[in-house]
Each structure stands twice: as structure tokens, then as C-alpha cells.
Structure 1
Amino acid sequence: MSAWRVLAALILALACAGCAAVGPDYARPELAAPEGFSEAGDASAVPPALELAAWWRGFGDPELDSLMERAARSNLDLEQARARVAQARATLRSARGGFWPTLDASGEVDRSKDSKNAVEGATYSSGKTSTLYKAGFDASWELDLFGRTRRSVESAEASLEAGREDLHNTLLTLLGDVATSYVSLRSNQSRLAIARATLESQSQTVEVTRARWRAGLVSRLDVTQAESQRAGTEADIPGLELEIKQAMHRLAILLGQAPGALKSELAAVRPLPEPGKAVLATGLPAQLLSRRPDLRASERRLAAASADIGVATAGLYPTFDLTLGLGLQSAGNNTFVSNASRYWSIVPGVTIPIFSGGTTLAAIEQKRAIYDEDLAAYRAAFLTALEDVENALASYYAQTARRVSLAEAARTAEESVSLARERYAKGLVNFLDVLSAQDTRYSAQDSLDQCRADQLTALVALYKALGGGWAAESVVQEEDGGAAGSSPAPRAEAVAAPNP
């Protein structure tokens, strides 16, 4: 009965063990955040659920909408992130299995013959042959008295949550990359159209100048200057065509396709998207901690590191286990299934660490250092997030102001070309003035188009920095049936972009 008493005592200890788990109890660290973004001006309010806002729909470009949706379904980086979530989920199930006993079934037939000289001093007329039949169940259970398993589960749960946030962050990055590549494509198509139109105009100027030179009205210098100007513009075209091809290739890769798969679809020239008219609300800096998935992932990794300290600390404490055996054992197969063949065993055990050469303490110290590293990484990630928002805001407003000036420059440059041609026809200015006016117009138009692209790129970077859009579509299908969070993401509302 003493074994039963020990068993009862161990079960009672297990029932009371829920209140004891060694190692630190994790609490999310408080991070100091500024009261507002220095570059945000008055845009301090935040729209509800920014992560659900399909901000790209505010650009009013159906092609961009389609690319975004297809990328979210087919991107291979997302597939890798989903696989990593599945791995973390399996690790969690494995950790939870530590709460339960292991049960094994076994069966064997042992046929043996004794040696004649098996016992010293004994004499056998012949060796004895025997058969032993055995079948039964063995159960083993390590009692989690000091929380090693609970801390392991806590670490695995936090790691799974971090993996989910990494998946969200991969989607957020993907959306930004698709939008940026699409802006680059449309911008370079527009710049190519400007270059070709300018080249056509310059070619006409060359022909007119040649005709005037043959008539003896101008010098050969005017012809060479016009030809040189045309050649310079012509040299810009291959570079722009290359940029267009590279943007198409990049978009195809982001959609999980071969580089040339979207060529026919994207070859048709479409205008560069325009921002909407609503002013974007940035919210408060502290809200980035809940909106940005990379910060949420970093915080969850910190929680996992804290739990790992408890797992390592449990190595300083005894481990209690219980082994149970139950089955049938008989020397004859005709008596195998009978009450007399039953056997059972109860083996309570305890292992007390006494000396390990400092390895356990070193492991605890290592886990504490990992926690300190992850804490510093969490703080650094938050500062980087603040920098991302400030830089994106500064860039957007700078490009907005620059666009106004360049639009005026392009308008006046167009007027200058008309005036220069008119005055040249009257002999009031030399031909170099006409060429200079044409160069200025081409440069102003090209710069204006680049500025429009830079403004949109800065706007995309701002949405990404604020953590917008990563749950805008039902694309984060990392959960399988029955898992928490398996329901699709809510349908998003389009958020208009700032007015230039």
C-alpha cells in the first residue's frame, strides 16, 4: 500500500502545482513614446482599424486593385510565412503534449534455454528450455510541479503569435512593394511618352533647320545643335524602356509568376494614379505598437524569451515522474489469458539535480541575455517605426510642395517654347534660345512626372509605416480548422489618400 500512498501524494502535488511556475512572469514593457509626430502637423487623429483600410483603392486604379489581390493570394514569400506559422502551431501542440502521460502497448514471446553451467556448483543433466509470453501497457508521466511544461507552452504560444504577426508583416511589405512597383511602371511609361513626344518635336525641328540651312537662311551650327539635342533625348528612351521592363518583371515575381508573365497585361499605358482628396490621419506614435505587425511580432518574441527563462530555471528543481505497467505474463500460451497471468507495477520516481558543472546556471544566464537582446530589439524596432513615419511624412509633404512648383515650371516652359519659336521666326533671337527653351520644357515635364511618382511612393511608404492595410483582404489564411482566429479578416473600407 505504500506505493499507492506515494501515488496519491504525487497526484495531490500535481493538483496543487498550478500555482507554482518558476521563472519570471512576463509583463509587456512600457515604451516611452512622443506625444505626436513632428512632421504630422494637425493630422493627429486616427481612422478606426487602420490595418483594415484598403488604402490603395483610394487611388482609383482597378489594375492596381487586381494586382494587390492576386499578389496576396499567390506571393511565395507569403506561402513561406504561412508554412512557418504551421511549424509554430505544430511546436505548440508538441509542447502541450507534455501535460499528458505517454502510453505504449507492447507484446513479446521470450523463448530461451538455460546453460548447463548457469550456476556455479550446480549440475544439470540437460539445459532447461522455457517460453515466456508477455503483453501489456506502459504509461509514463512527468509531473509538472515547477512549471517547466507550462513555461514551454507559454513560449510556444508566444512564438506562434509572433509567427502570425510576421505573416501579417510580410503581407504589409508585399502590398507596399506591389504599389511601389506599379507606380514605377506607370511613371516610366508616362516619362517614356514625354520623351517620345519631345523626340518627335525635336525631329521636326531638325528637319525645319536643315531646310533653312539648305536655303542659306541659317548656319550649319544650327543644324548640328538641333541634331545634338535630338540625340540626347533619343538616348533617354532605352533607359526608360528598361525601367518599364524591370517593373513588369518585379510585379510578376511579386504575384508568384515568371518575370514575363504580365507583359501583355501591363504593356497598355495607363495614367499614373492620383491620390484622393481626404487628409490622412496619422494617429499617435504610441498607437504604432498595436497597429504595426512587426512591432507586435517583436513583443511576442520578447514574451517567448521570458518564458524560456522559466524553462531553463526549472532545470534547478527536481523532476517527478510516474511509471505504470499493466498486462499479462505467462509461461504457457494456454494459461496466458487468465486472472493468474495478470501483473501490474507502479514506479514513482524523482530526479534531484545535484551537480551539473554549471551548465544549468549558464543556460539560465544565456536565456536572460536573449531576453535582454530581444528587449533592446523591441525598443529599437519602435524607434525605427517612428523614424519610418517621420521620414514618410517629410517626404510626402516635400514632394507635394515640389510638385506645385514643378507644375508651374512646366507651364511656363511650354509658354517659353512658343515665344522662343515666334521670336526666332522673326529673327529676334538666335536658334540656341529655341533649343534651350525646348530643353527646359523637356526637363520640367520629366521632373514633374518623377515628382508625381515620388509623391505617390512617399504616400505608400507612409501607409506602410503606419501599419495600414495588412488585414484589408481575406488573404491571411494561416489557420486551419478549429484554430483560433480561423475566421477571415473583415472586409475593408477604402481610405482616400491625402490631397496633393
Structure 2
Amino acid sequence: MLMLDATQTRRLARTWLRVGTLACTCMLAACASWQTAVPDLPKDTPADWQARNTAAAGLAPDLDHWWRAFGDPVLDDLIERAQRDNLNIQIAGERLLAARAARHAKRSQFWPNLNFRTFVETTPNASTGFLEVGLDSTWEFGFFGRATGNKRINLADENLAIIDEAAMRVSIVAEVTRNYIELRAAQARAQVLDDVVAVRRRQVELAQTRLTTRMGSQLEADRAQAELQQAQSDASEPTLTVTQTAQALAVLLGTTTPEPALRTAARQPQLPAIDFRQTPADLVRTRADIRRAEQNVVRTAGELGIARADLWPKFGIYSTFISSTSLTSTHLNDDFVFIAGPTISLPIVDWGARRQVVNAREAALHASVLAYREAVIEGVAEAQTALAQFDAKSALAENVQKTLTLNERGLQSAQTMQRIGLGDGLETAGASLAAAQSRLQRNLAVRDRALAYIALYKAFGGAIPPLAKDAVQEGAR
């Protein structure tokens, strides 16, 4: 045991301070020389979209608040509440806080630590007992890229939590919008189907009158009655949809009770013309799956850096300062001991196994780069398909509207002919049915266009909050 007085202790402390400073300098140089580079990620997004929105002019797309294009304040309120009260968003938020706390805890792995401890020891002959009070410190240097790899893994984990939280918000907003669109469409469809039932009932009355006056047949009366029964069956379909979507919205809002305001039928939300011609194809990079694949590359590069660092020795410094006091002897003696020196851990026997770990990490890094390319290609394909589908649904809605206009004009003509005595009630009922069927088709076309619009923005990916800056910078190198 080395016994030092106070002057010698201070002198030795200054010496080891210089050694520590030199070790820090060596550590920085080693990290710069041995760190594993993050591969450059290929940019496979096309220069332009193949499918293009055909509208000559329209509302400019808004990635951050795309649902406002519907111009529905009830929907705006539901989405605001869902982003605040949805339980899945809150769960993702708590996981993000956990990831940040874990990152802050793990970042100190290569910092010096200081521990205080007390313990009691006796001499071998059990004649004297000593109370020992001491401080000890260890400091492992992150040489050969070990500190950089650890940093990349921790920041990538936090970034993945950020992406998951943002992706959950995108998903919840889309689900709220989809259920609200289907609910309002079902309510509007229920009103049209009630009109169809009324027309079918009128047809039954006319068929019975024609049968009574021997101007019609029993076959016509039976057919009219069967069509009424079918119309009444069809009219029950929207009720189930309204119940299901209202309950789904309640779940999305973090409650079990559907909103009372949603029980009252309201205007079916309709989209204006939207011009996607100026939307860059690179927008698809905001997709959560692509951002996850990007961060997985950074994380895997960190794991490879640590695996390569494990092939080389681990260097560090250990120091301890102990005060020993005799508890049982007649004279109390206080002794102080300061010990410090380097620590080295060198792999010898298991070096081959560590080399295999490096090989596995290199293959994993290559696979993560390929997975990133696959995510970009799939994202572009999904966005292309969604854009083409939105164009097709927009064209269909426009054609259905033209058909409805013609059928409503025909209904007005039939009503006019009946008023002047040149037509009967059956012709008017037929024209009313044609107009009602066109309204049903328009209802479905407007709904399908809105759903295609939602799918398009989900394909674009939504806005991702800023990621941890260090990981972003490393991923860009």
C-alpha cells in the first residue's frame, strides 16, 4: 500500500490531470481516425410524378393542414381534439419522452464517474478493525470509434421515437377524417334512400290504382311491391355505417361516448379542385417508413462502429482515494491512500468471434441501405398510385355530377308534363327514381374522391418534426 502525505497527493493529482488531458487528446484523435462512416443514401425519387392531377387550377396542397380543404369546422374541431386526447398519440408521446431520457442516460457512458463508498475491514488476526471511507472513479475512453457509435445508436433511437410519434399523428388525423367523411356520406345517403322509399311507395299506390281500374296487371303491382321492399332494405344500410363511424370517432377521441352533435345530419363534405401539378416528387421522403429506414442506417452504422472498436483494446483511467480509521486499537490512526493508473482490456482468445460480429454488422449495414432504397421505391409507387386514383375519382365525380344535372332536368320536365296533362304519375316517379339514383352515385363519388384524397396525403407521409440534429448531420455525411 502506497502512503502519501497531502503535498505528495496534490503533486500526484496534478500529474494525473496532465495524463488525463493527454488521454483526452489521444481519444479525440483516435475517434476521428477510426469512426465508421455512414453510407451515402441513394436518392431514388423521380424528377416528376408520372400521374398528374388534371385540374387546370385549384387549391394549392397543404401538407401540414390538408384536412382544411374540406372547409368543415366540425372536422377541424374533431382533429384538434384527437391530436390532444387520442390515447395512441399520448402513448407515442410518452415513448418519445422515454427515448429522450434513455439517450441522456446513455450519453454519459464515456464520461468520468465518481463513486463514494464506505466499508469495514479487519486485520487477518482480527485484532484491529478499520472503517474505510473512499472515493473511486473510472473513465473509459471511447477510442477507435466506440464513442461515436454509441452516440449514433442513442440519437437514432430518439429519432425513431420522434418519427413514430409523428406517424401516429398522421394516422390518427387520417382515421378521424375518413370516419367523419363516411359518417356524413352515410347520413346524406340515408336522406336520399328515404326519398327513394317514398317514390317506391308512390309507385305501389299507382300500380294498385292501375290494377283496380284494369289499366295494369298484377305483375306490375307485385313488381312495384318487391321494389318497395328492396328500397326499404337498402335504406337500413346507412344507419349501421353511421353507428360504426360515430363509435370509431369516439375511440379516436379517447372516449366511449359518441359525439351527440354527430347524430344530426349535416352537409356532406366536398373537396374543391386541388392542383397537385407543382407538388415535388421528393415530397415522398417525408413518409415515416422512409425516415425510419434512414435512421436504421444510422443506427446500424453505429453498431458496426462499436463492433469494430471491440477488436481493439479498451483504454481508461481508474483512481481511488481511501481514508482508513482504526476502530478498535487504543490509538486512533488515520491513513490516506491515493491510487491511480490506466486500465487496459485487450481481446485475445475471442478475437475471432469479435471479427465475426463485425462481419455480421457489415452485412446488416448493407441490408439497411438496401431496405432504405426499397422503402423509397415502394413509397414512390404508392404515391404514384394514390395520385392516379385521386385523378380518376375526381374525373368520376365530375361525370356523375353531369349525369345528375341531366336527370334533375328530366325530372323537372316530367313534372311539367304531368301538370299540363301530358304525362302521368308513373313517368314522374320514374324520373324521380333516376334523379335519386344519380344523387346516390354522386354521394358515393364525392365520398370516394375524399377517401382518395386522404389516401394520397397518407402516401405523401405527412410532416415530420425536426430530428435530433447530430444524427441528421451524421446521416447526411
Q: Residues 359-374 of structure 1: matches in 2 within 5 Å?
A: 359-374=353-368
Alignment partners' CA distance in 2, 1:218 and 1:426 = 20
Partner of 1:270: 266
Aligned residue type for 1:268: T
What is the Cα deviation at residue 373 of structure 1?
2.5
What is the Cα deviation at residue 182 of structure 1?
1.1
Partner of 1:211: 209
Partner of 1:312: 307
Alignment partners' CA distance in 2, 1:58 and 1:457 = 13
Q: Determine if the alignment matches structure 1 residue 344 to structure 2 residue 355.
A: no
What is the Cα deviation at residue 85 of structure 1?
1.5
The two structures have a TM-score, normalised by structure 2, of 0.84
Partner of 1:397: 391
Alignment partners' CA distance in 1, 2:191 and 2:117 = 79
Partner of 2:474: none
Partner of 1:176: 174
Q: Determine if the alignment matches structure 1 residue 33 to structure 2 residue 45.
A: yes
1:240 aligned counterpart, secondary structure: helix
Q: Determine if the alignment matches structure 1 residue 16 to structure 2 residue 10.
A: no
- Structure 2 gaps of 5+ residues are 1-7, 471-477
Q: Is the 8 A contact 2:55 2:274 kept in 1?
A: no
CA displacement, residues 422-454 of structure 1 (integer Å, 9 cap, x when unaligned):
69x9899997x8887665444332121101111
Tell me which protein shows more helix as a share of its residues.
2
Aligned-residue Cα RMSD (Å) equals 3.5
The percent identity for this pair of structures is: 23
Q: 1:49 to 1:201 in 2, by over 3 A?
A: closer
Alignment partners' CA distance in 1, 2:290 and 2:56 = 20
Q: Determine if the alignment matches structure 1 residue 299 to structure 2 residue 294.
A: yes
2:370 aligned residue (343, 366, 376): 376
2:449 aligned residue (438, 455, 459): 455
Q: Determine if the alignment matches structure 1 residue 167 to structure 2 residue 161.
A: no
Aligned residue type for 1:26: V
Q: 1:28 to 1:88 in 2, by over 3 A?
A: farther
Alignment partners' CA distance in 1, 2:332 and 2:141 = 33
CA displacement, residues 140-195 of structure 1 (integer Å, 9 cap, x when unaligned):
11122223123101221122122212211221222122111111111111111111
Partner of 1:284: 280
Aligned residue type for 2:22: L
The two structures have a TM-score, normalised by structure 1, of 0.81
Partner of 1:490: none
1:316 aligned counterpart, secondary structure: coil
2:89 aligned residue (57, 78, 82): 78
Partner of 1:119: none
Q: Is the 8 A contact 2:199 2:432 kept in 1?
A: no
Q: 1:146 to 1:74 in 2, by over 3 A?
A: same
Partner of 1:494: none
CA displacement, residues 83-125 of structure 1 (integer Å, 9 cap, x when unaligned):
22223212311221112122221112335773xxxxxxxxxxx
Aligned residue type for 1:15: T
CA displacement, residues 201-249 of structure 1 (integer Å, 9 cap, x when unaligned):
2112212322332343322222111111111111112222111111112
Q: 1:196 to 1:386 in 2, by over 3 A?
A: same
- Structure 1 gaps of 5+ residues are 115-127, 485-500
Alignment partners' CA distance in 2, 1:403 and 1:11 = 73
Alignment partners' CA distance in 2, 1:164 and 1:403 = 38
What is the Cα deviation at residue 252 of structure 1?
1.4
